[in-house]
Structure 1
Amino acid sequence: MHVLVIGGGISGLAAAHQLLASGVRVTLLEATDRLGGKLRAGSIAGTAAVDLGAESMLARRPEAVELARAVGLGEQLQPPSVAGGAIWTRGAVRPMPKGHLMGVPGDPAALGGVLSPEGLARIAEDGRLPRTEVGEDVAVGDYVARRLGREVVDRLVEPLLGGVYAGDAYRISMRAAVPQLYEAARGERSLLAAVRAVQERAATSPAPPGPVFMGIEGGIGRLPGAVAEACTAKGADIRLNTPVTRLGRVPSEAGSGWIAETPHETVRADAVVLATPAPTAARLLAPHAPAAAAELDTVEYASMALVTLAFRRSEADRVPDGSGFLVPPVDGHAIKAATFSAHKWSWVAAQDPSLFVLRTSLGRYGEESTLQRDDAELVELSLRDLRAATGLRARPVDTLVSRWDGGLPQYPVGHLERVAAIRAAVDALPGLAVAGAVYEGVGIPACVASGRRAARHVLQPAHVPEPAESANENGEKTRHE
C-alpha cells in the first residue's frame, strides 16, 4: 500500500511516522522549502540557537513527547528551568494568580492587584445570579463576563487564551477551548462553583508525575527534522518545493486510489492524508467533498510576529527576573507576551552566558494593522514595552523578527460542529483523511495526535478504496472498476 501525505508540518510528519510503523510505503509532499510548519529553529547573535516558532509542548498530554523519544530526542527533552508565570497589568508585572482555569478564578481572593475593587465586587455577584445556560456552545468571554464581569475576561482570560490561540476570548468556543469548564458549567449554577468542581476532580485524579511542559535542547524546532530523518531511514520519500495543484481519484489495484498533481509530476497513491492549512485543504477537497470544502473555507486564522532579542548582560542595566509575562490587550500595549528564554531554558543560557536572550510576541486576531509595520518598528515597539514593564533599557546586539501570517486557526463558537461536518464529508471518501491544527487543537501534542489519527483512519480495512465515480473530459460520470 502506498499512502501520500500532503503537508510537511508536524501533523503530516506524525502521520508519515505512524504509517511507516505499519509497514506501508509513504510519500510526503511539502509545498515550501522546509518542513515543520510552525515549528522552526534558528539562531541569533551568530551562534545562539533559538526557536522561531513554538518553543514548548504540553508534557501532560503524551503524544509529542512520545514522538520526540521515538525519533531519538529523548535525552534532549528538558523542562523549563523556572516555573510560574506573570502578567503585566495595571502598571506592574504581577505573579499570575493561582487556582484559575484558563484565567477563570476558583478563589477571588487570589486576584488582588490584578482586578480593581469594582472588579472584585462584581465577581461576588456570581453566587446570586440565576443560572446561565451554556447550550450547545458559548463563547468563553461572553459566558465569563455574564457571570463574573468583564474585568476577569479582559485581564485574565484574554491574555491566557490569546497566548494559545492568538484569538478573541469573546469569540472563542468554550466547548472547544476549555471543555472541562464547559462540562462543569452545564452542571453548576455558579461559575466559581464550576471551577472548584473541576479543581476537586483534578485533585482526586492527580496528573501523572513529571513536568507540565517540556522543551528540547537546541529548540522544539529540531523535532520536525528528527522526525523527517527517522521517516527517511524507514524508506519515506520526502519532497520539498512540491505543491499539490489538484487531487483526483483514479483506478488502482485495490479499487480506486488517488492522484496528486504537482508542477513537476503526478503522484499516484492508494490513500491520502491531507495535512495542510484549511485554505489548501478546501481547494483540494472541493471537487470531491464540497460540503467539507465549504466548511474549511470559513476557517479564519490569526497572524502574529515573534521578535527575538539578544542583549549583552554586561550592557544591560537590568536583567528581568522570571520566565516572562502575559499582557492583557485592554492595557493597550503592543506586545501580548514576553518570554525570557535565557531564564526559561537552561540550554539557551548555557550556549553563551554573556548573552541574555528573550522574545516578545505581537499580533492577534483582528490586529492585522500591528503586523503591517516593518521589522524595525516591531523591534522598537517591543523594546518600548519591555522598558515600561521591566526597566530594561539596553539596546540589543542582535534582533530577529519571525512573521507567522495565518499562523493559528481560530476556534469560534460552533467549531466542534464544523469539524464534525468536515470529517463526516471526508470519511465518506475511501482512503482519505485530514489532519492538522484545525481539527483537534493547536498545540503540538494535539497536532501529533491528529496526524496519527489520520494515519490509522486510512489504514482501516473499512477504508480500503472502492470503485469511485468521477467526471471525464465531457463531464460524464464514469465508474472506475
Structure 2
Amino acid sequence: MAGLAAAHRLLQRGARVTVLEASDRVGGKLLPGEIAGVRVDLGAESMLARRPEAVGLAREAGLGDRLQPPATATAALWTRGALRPMPKGHVMGVPGTAAALAGVVSEEGLARIGRDAELPRTEIGDDVAVGEYVAARLGREVVDRLVEPLLGGVYAGDAYRISMRSAVPQLFEAARTHPSLTEAVRAIQGRTAAAPQAAGPVFAGLEGGIGTLPPAVAGTVRARGGEILLGTPVTELRRTAPGTWRITAGGRVLTADAVIVAVPAPAAASLLRAEAPAAAAELAAVEYASMALITLAYRRADAAALPGGSGFLVPPVDGRTIKAATFASRKWGWIDREDPDLVVLRTSVGRHGETEVLGRDDAALVAVSRHDIEQATGLSAAPVATRVTRWTDGLPQYPVGHHARVARVRDHVAKLPGLAVCGAAYDGVGIPATIASAHAAVDQLLGDPAGVEELTAHPVRSLDGGAGE
C-alpha cells in the first residue's frame, strides 16, 4: 500500500513512475477475498477515519461513495469468564479515572488506579515501554486486562516491550508534561473532544472490503501513465552515478533518477546493504510478528447465540488462544446485505514470540477458534465455510527506541540523493500512517519540507483493525 500511495502522489506531481511488485497482486496486507459467496477482507478490515490520508486516497481513487462507518462500534472484552462491555474513557486502555475500568479490573486494581495522583512524578526520558510505565503508575491489572489486548491487537506484540513514544505518541507527550498519568489521559480526552473531527466516525470501511482499495489506486496509477509490474522482485539496487540508480528486477535492468524503497524491513535491508550499509544494519534488526486470521461463516439461524456488538478482545492473561473476534456481519452492513442468511465472524491468533499456535494446521486453528467462540458466546453450531489466512512476519514491532532507530535509518538514507524509504516499519502500522510515510518519502525526494512534516501533524494511532485485528 505504501508503494502504491507513493506512486499515486508522484504522478500527481508530474513524475514518471514504475512500480515493481514482487508478488502477483498489489496491496500487501490489504487482501480481498470471499467466503460462502460473500466478499470479505482477509487482511486489514478498517482504517482510521479521523486521519485524512486513507479516506482521502480512497476518494481520489474513486471510492468515496463506498466509504462506510461500522454499523456498530460497540465492542466487548472477554475476561474473567464473561463478555464485558469495553470500558469508555481511556486512551489505548489507560484510564483517566478509576471508574472507567469498573467491572474489568478488581476492587484492588481500581484502588491502585486511584493512587496515581499521590505518586511522585515519573521521569520518562527519551522513551519507555507502554506496559512498564502504565504498570508503575496504575498497576499491572490495567496493562494485563486492557492495554495488552488493545496494543496486542494492533501490533501482535507485548505491551511490556512496545514503545510508548512510537505506539501511543500523544500519551507519551502528555505524560511528560503532567504530574500524573490519569491527569495526562484527561488532558488528551479534553483536546480530542474539542477537535473539529471528533464528531465523525473513528473508523471507516469500504463496501466490498478494504481490500478493494489497492486495486482502485493501482487503476488510478495506470490511468495516469504509471507502470505497475507484478511478479517482479527487485534483487539489486545500485547507485551508478550521482542522480542515477540501477535496479535489477525480474531478470531485467531498469534505471531511474530516484527510488522509493517501500518494502518490509528485512527486504529493505537486503536492497540497501550495498549502498547504505548502516541503514541496512538498522533495518535488519527490526523484528516482526506473525499472525493468522480465521474467517467463519454460519447459517444465521444457527448463530442466534451471538451477543450484540462488533466483537470482542481477549486479554492474554486469561490464557485463551484467540486474541480477538470480529462479528463481521454485524460490524459491516454491506457484508450483512450480501447474504442475509449468513453470519460471518473472524478471529485472530498469534502474537510476537508465539510459535506453537501458528505451527498448527488450518483445521486445528479453525477448531480452536470455534472452541473459544463457543466458550465466549455459546455458539456451538458448525460453520458452513471456513478460511485461514496466515500473515507470516506480517506486523513490524515497535520496541523502546524504535523512533531513534527510524531516525538513524532516515539519516543514513538521506545521504544518498534520490533515495527514500517508507512503509509500516517506520511511523505506524495502520493504513493512514503507512500512506503518510509514503507521502513524506515523495516530498523528501521532491524537496517539499512541508510534506515531510505531515508525519508529525497527525499523531500515530494505528487501531486499523477494529476489534483488535
Mapped to 2, the partners of 1:457 and 1:127 lie a distance apart of 43
- Counterpart among 303, 323, 327 of residue 336 in structure 1: 323
1:221 — aligned with what?
211
1:237 — aligned with what?
227
CA positional deviation for 1:206: 4.3
Mapped to 2, the partners of 1:403 and 1:37 lie a distance apart of 13
2:35 — aligned with what?
44
Mapped to 2, the partners of 1:409 and 1:145 lie a distance apart of 24
Maintained 8 Å contact 1:313/1:319 = no
Query: Per-residue displacement from partner, 1:114-158 (whole Å, max 9, x unpaired)?
Result: 111221222222122222111110000000000111000000100
Maintained 8 Å contact 2:47/2:432 = yes
1:20 — aligned with what?
11
1:470 — aligned with what?
none
- Counterpart among 373, 388, 398 of residue 386 in structure 1: 373
The reply on whether 1:265 has 2:252 as its aligned counterpart is yes
1:122 — aligned with what?
112
CA positional deviation for 1:205: 3.3
1:54-453 mapped onto 2 (5 Å cutoff)? 54-251=44-241, 255-453=242-440
Mapped to 1, the partners of 2:82 and 2:409 lie a distance apart of 45
CA positional deviation for 1:364: 0.9
Query: Per-residue displacement from partner, 1:361-420 (whole Å, max 9, x unpaired)?
Result: 000111121100000000011000000101111100000000000111011101100000
Output the amino acid matched with 2:363: A
CA positional deviation for 1:315: 2.9
CA positional deviation for 1:256: 3.0
Q: Report SS of the residue matched to 1:221.
A: helix
1:469 — aligned with what?
none
2:43 — aligned with what?
53
Maintained 8 Å contact 1:160/1:326 = yes
Q: TM-score, normalised to structure 1's length?
A: 0.91
Query: Per-residue displacement from partner, 1:222-267 (whole Å, max 9, x unpaired)?
Result: 000000011011111111111111101124xxx4310111242011
Q: Report SS of the residue matched to 1:314.
A: helix
Maintained 8 Å contact 2:27/2:211 = yes
The reply on whether 1:11 has 2:5 as its aligned counterpart is no
5+ long unaligned stretches in structure 2: 450-469
Maintained 8 Å contact 1:317/1:393 = no
CA positional deviation for 1:318: 1.6
CA positional deviation for 1:461: 8.5
Mapped to 2, the partners of 1:392 and 1:168 lie a distance apart of 30
The reply on whether 1:32 has 2:19 as its aligned counterpart is no
Maintained 8 Å contact 2:8/2:217 = yes
Mapped to 2, the partners of 1:281 and 1:185 lie a distance apart of 34
Maintained 8 Å contact 2:192/2:198 = no
Distance change (3 Å), C-alpha of 1:35 and 1:288: same
Mapped to 1, the partners of 2:198 and 2:376 lie a distance apart of 36
1:471 — aligned with what?
none
Q: Report SS of the residue matched to 1:157.
A: helix
**Percentage of matched positions with identical amino acids:** 65
Mapped to 2, the partners of 1:205 and 1:83 lie a distance apart of 20
Mapped to 1, the partners of 2:300 and 2:8 lie a distance apart of 42
CA positional deviation for 1:82: 0.6
Q: Number of residues paired by the alignment?
A: 449
Mapped to 2, the partners of 1:186 and 1:81 lie a distance apart of 37
Q: TM-score, normalised to structure 2's length?
A: 0.94
Output the amino acid matched with 2:315: P
Structure of greater Rg: 1
Query: Per-residue displacement from partner, 1:402-449 (whole Å, max 9, x unpaired)?
Result: 000011101110110000000000011000000100111100001111
Output the amino acid matched with 1:27: T
Q: Report SS of the residue matched to 1:392.
A: coil
Mapped to 1, the partners of 2:195 and 2:374 lie a distance apart of 43
Mapped to 2, the partners of 1:460 and 1:409 lie a distance apart of 28
Query: Per-residue displacement from partner, 1:321-360 (whole Å, max 9, x unpaired)?
Result: 2100000000000000000000000000000000000100
Maintained 8 Å contact 2:128/2:400 = yes
2:464 — aligned with what?
none
Which has the higher mean CA deviation after the structures are superposed, 255-264 or 384-393? 255-264
Output the amino acid matched with 1:258: W
Q: Report SS of the residue matched to 2:302.
A: coil
CA positional deviation for 1:189: 2.1
Q: Report SS of the residue matched to 1:241.
A: coil
Maintained 8 Å contact 2:97/2:113 = no
CA positional deviation for 1:171: 0.4
CA positional deviation for 1:179: 1.1
Mapped to 2, the partners of 1:111 and 1:24 lie a distance apart of 52
Query: Per-residue displacement from partner, 1:191-214 (whole Å, max 9, x unpaired)?
Result: 111111222222333435421110
Mapped to 1, the partners of 2:121 and 2:30 lie a distance apart of 43
